[in-house]
Structure 1
Amino acid sequence: MANQQIQRIKSISEYHRLRGLHQPEHPLISLVDYAAMKNSPDNNKISWVYDFYFIALKKNMNAKFKYGQQDYDFDEGVMFFIAPGQVFRIEVMQDAPDKSGWMLLIHPDFLWNFTLATTIKKYEYFSYSVHEALFLSEKEEAVVSGVIQNIQQEYHANIDTFSQQIIISQIEVLLNYSQRFYHRQFITRRIANHKVFWINWKLYWISISAVMR
């Protein structure tokens, strides 16, 4: 990301302000409807660093996402995860009118004194080493959406000690489902690559046999 301007967003309230959104109902967590956001081409030149966790599912975005050394194209049901302090860039080709999805912003302080504050680091899809976004099937997207609806219900209530515990529990469910779906994607991709390998190998021997006749 050489010669790129890097902008750090330190708080969720600052993120809302920069994106033209209403102030979050809680300073340490926010659930944003992606369709309500406007993307500016001016932001294409900026690389971003957040001081909070960022989990999102975006559809019909018409954009490229640069994370570490990897580029991703957004499509139907694409989910991605960003940890605090990591650099990324989104290049929007054109702000699609039919875009949809959600973004869950979680400041590490929201998890303080809960087990998830430590265990969240075990989820490898927050790492630069992950080489592909998470592509959800319709059933998987329905499962994820159900968890997000539970979080949304608590988020729009007056957050107290009990609702914080419930929200954190639901975040953990979301992360565990994502872990399962990533594993499914890996297995599916490995099987598909294996089949392609054997098809190519078979075609190779057929061509060799034809030459030797």
Structure 2
Amino acid sequence: MKPIIHLETISEINRFVQQGGVKHPMVAIIDFSKVDEYLEVGTRISCGFYSIMFKNYCINHMKYGRQQYDFQEGSLICIAPRQVVELDSEIEKRDDMMGWGLFFHPDLVRGTSLGAKMKDYSFFSYETSEALHLSEKEKQVLYDCIIKIGEELNENIDHHSQNLIVSNIELLLNYCSRYYGRQFITRKNLNRDVVVQVEKALKEYFDANDRLKEGLPTVGYLADCVNLSPNYLSDLLKKETGMNAKEHIHHFVIEEAKNILLGSNKTIGEIAYQLGFEYPQYFSKLFKQKTGTTPQEFRYLN
């Protein structure tokens, strides 16, 4: 396995792609049509900054996080700092290869309103077949944002520069949020299959008593079951059902608890341990939070 190439600063990404000098110490735009982009299969790269990349050609297989990933034509990916990307096959060569990359360091937005919101842009933690597939109109809208940021980078830096650059990055990210929302809607049939798989995974988990000895199922466990990242799964479930992945787990366990409460004489502690809770108090607290009654009250009232 090849060693990881780590690019910590914006100047290092400029040197890596051999595309001119640094215009700003914390943000760069790369024109992929001007990059001689030959990377060996197995090349692994991580960065100390956020990366947003759009290309009009395919990278047939790429590993991002734990999974294999198709970076298809006309798609956009957003990668958080410290994620490792591995090229798993050769890049398709074509005469009209083009695209752009926006790279910005966390320090650029630290202390700004955008910095406080970065954790809300969950698509930076998506992986495996979770790229944003853009329409022609959407491509143009995002590219217009890139043009605005580029114009600011070509100006002499003054006390307005950071605010204007950050504002345009935030605008671009908000459009990405909108377009991912659209993608969840247009992929409803596929998403419904995921919902069914999640329900099946939860049922199988609770049917297997040995697993419950390890505790409640986690969001990460469900994500692995359906080959999605935890953030993508939560966002998909929220769009489809109104509940994120954690809420799905809680809903399932409460329904199981109701069945046991009304169908057996087990104590509250016994039920809590049977369902994978380490402490009965946590079970009782969650049950009351979700139903408005304690487990004992629910049993008595029904």
Provide the TM-score with structure 2 as the length reference. Answer: 0.59
TM-fit CA distance, 1:173: 0.7
Question: C-alpha distance in 2, partners of 1:36/1:94?
Answer: 16
Equivalent residue, structure 2, for 1:105 = 103
Alignment partner of 1:45 out of 22, 29, 42 = 42
TM-fit CA distance, 1:159: 2.3
Q: Percent identity?
A: 38
Contact 1:61–1:99 under 8 Å retained in 2: no
Alignment partner of 1:162 out of 160, 163, 171 = 160
Question: C-alpha distance in 2, partners of 1:140/1:147?
Answer: 11
Q: How does 1:190-201 map to 2 (within 5 A)?
A: 190-191=188-189
TM-fit CA distance, 1:74: 3.3
Highest Rg: 1 or 2? Answer: 2
Alignment partner of 1:82 out of 72, 79, 88 = 79
TM-fit CA distance, 1:61: 4.3
Question: C-alpha distance in 1, partners of 2:39/2:165?
Answer: 34
Equivalent residue, structure 2, for 1:27 = 25
Question: C-alpha distance in 2, partners of 1:143/1:58?
Answer: 15
RMSD: 2.0
Contact 2:69–2:128 under 8 Å retained in 1: no
Question: C-alpha distance in 2, partners of 1:175/1:41?
Answer: 28
The CA deviation string for residues 48-86 of structure 1, in whole angstroms up to 9 with x for no partner, is 110011011111244433211333333332100011111
Alignment partner of 1:123 out of 114, 121, 124 = 121
Question: C-alpha distance in 2, partners of 1:174/1:68?
Answer: 24
TM-fit CA distance, 1:21: 1.6
2:69 maps to 1:72: yes
The answer for unaligned runs of 5 or more in structure 1 is: 196-213
Equivalent residue, structure 2, for 1:12 = 10
Query: Which of the two has greater helix per residue?
Result: 2
Equivalent residue, structure 1, for 2:178 = 180
Query: 3-state DSSP class of the match of 1:161?
Result: coil
Query: 3-state DSSP class of the match of 2:175?
Result: helix
Query: 3-state DSSP class of the match of 2:187?
Result: helix
Relative to 1, partners in 2 of residues 1:133 and 1:68: Cα closer, same or farther, differing over 3 Å? same
Equivalent residue, structure 1, for 2:131 = 133
Query: Which of the two has greater strand per residue?
Result: 1
Contact 2:6–2:47 under 8 Å retained in 1: yes
TM-fit CA distance, 1:191: 4.2
Relative to 1, partners in 2 of residues 1:160 and 1:131: Cα closer, same or farther, differing over 3 Å? same
The CA deviation string for residues 152-187 of structure 1, in whole angstroms up to 9 with x for no partner, is 111111122212101101111111110110111011
Provide the TM-score with structure 1 as the length reference. Answer: 0.82
